[in-house]
Structure formats: C-alpha cells, structure tokens
Amino acid sequence: MATIRRIPFTSTRIIYETPLPVSEVLSRLDKALNRAGAGDIIKFLAGVKTREEVEKKVNEVRGDGDFVYFGCNSHSDWLNTYHDHPVPPAPTTLVYTLGNPLIAATMLQHELMTGLYVPPKILVTENENGRGTRVLYDKPSAAITVADGEGKEREALRSAAEVLDEKLERLVRSVTNPEGFEA
C-alpha cells in the first residue's frame, strides 16, 4: 500500500498593478522572453545530448534576459467559448510559463521535487474595467524550499531559489513599469 505525506507550507503571492494596457504588458513580456526566437524549448530539452548544447541554446535564446519563453495558455479564450461568448467577455487572462534551464539546474541538483515549481509561471490579466493590468505570481522560493518532510532544508537550494525570486521580480517590474521598458 502506498504511503502519503502532507507537508504544509506558506507562500507569498506577488501582484503588480500597472496602468498599462494588457496588450502593452504582453508585448513587453514577449520581447523580454524572446518569444519569437524561443522555438520549442521543451522539445529541444527533451532531445539534448550534452550540457554544452543546453548552455549554448539557452544563452543564445535568452540573449541579455534571464528567462526563456516556454509557453502560454489563455484562460480568457476558452472561458469565452465555454460561456457562449458572454457580454461582457472575460478579461484577457494568460498564464505564461517561462524559465531558464541553467537556473533550474542549480536547484534541481539539490532537490528534484523543485521540478514541481520550475519552470515558474506568471499570470497576466486585464483589469475588469479594461483599464490597466495585473501580473501575478507566487514567490518561487516559498514553494521550492519546503522542507523535505524530514525537517531538512538545504541552504544551497534556498540561495538558488532566492536568485530565481530576484530575477523574476526584476522581469515583472520591467514589463509593468509605466515609465519605460528595457528588455
């Protein structure tokens, strides 16, 4: 018979609000993640043969940024279809999966369960009144550094997860900044 363990943990949800329209935030995010040049990174990683191949491809695709585009799911599209095109329609709402396999490797080497939270996701949603955008994510380190059930937490894992926190915050701050944007 299988055994089960339940490990409670507390997380922090980060919510950035900006007066920028959702189309502008999405455009900035696509540019920062090099969505146009990312290709199918998941397929690439599934077939890669050497560490050097991973490093070369990731560094090539991410350019000056910290993250690579992995994928995007639109909740608003399917909700509007499911609810037979409601009036008003659901606000534009997309979940982006983004990451950096080089950062992920620094965490996964300490704890494979980290794979439940990397690559991270962010949710981009248009405010219901159509003015402005919210970008939400759960602070990665809160989930990644959950004790392993034996009461142990690895300091190297915490340090790597906190680097991910900083890089994710920098990305979201950049794409939501009404004063300007630098990819």
**DSSP of 44-59:** HHHH---HHHHHHHHH
Over residues 119-140, mean pLDDT: 96
149 pLDDT exceeds 70? no
- pTM recorded for the entire structure: 0.91
Question: Which residue ranges make up each domain of the chain?
Answer: 13-176
- Which residues, including other chains, have CB under 8 Å from residue 35's CB and lie 6 or more apart? 29, 69
Q: What is the pLDDT of residues 17-72, one digit of tens each?
A: 999 999 999 999 999 999 999 988 999 999 999 999 999 999 999 988 999 999 99
End-to-end CA distance of the chain: 51
C-alpha pair distances (Å), 106 with each of 18, 23, 127: 32, 34, 36
pLDDT of the residue at 147: 59
Over residues 76-93, mean pLDDT: 91
Q: Contact, 96 vs 33, CB < 8 A? A: yes
pLDDT of the residue at 150: 53
pLDDT of the residue at 151: 47
C-alpha pair distances (Å), 92 with each of 39, 125, 129: 24, 6, 11
More reliable by pLDDT, 120 or 155 = 120
pLDDT tier, 148 (very low <50, low <70, confident <90, very high otherwise):
low
pLDDT of the residue at 30: 97
Is the domain covering 13-176 a CATH 1.10.357.20 domain? Answer: no
Strand partners, 122: 96
pLDDT tier, 145 (very low <50, low <70, confident <90, very high otherwise):
confident
Cis peptide before 91 (omega within 30 of 0): no
Residue written as token pair 């995010």: 29
pLDDT of the residue at 76: 94
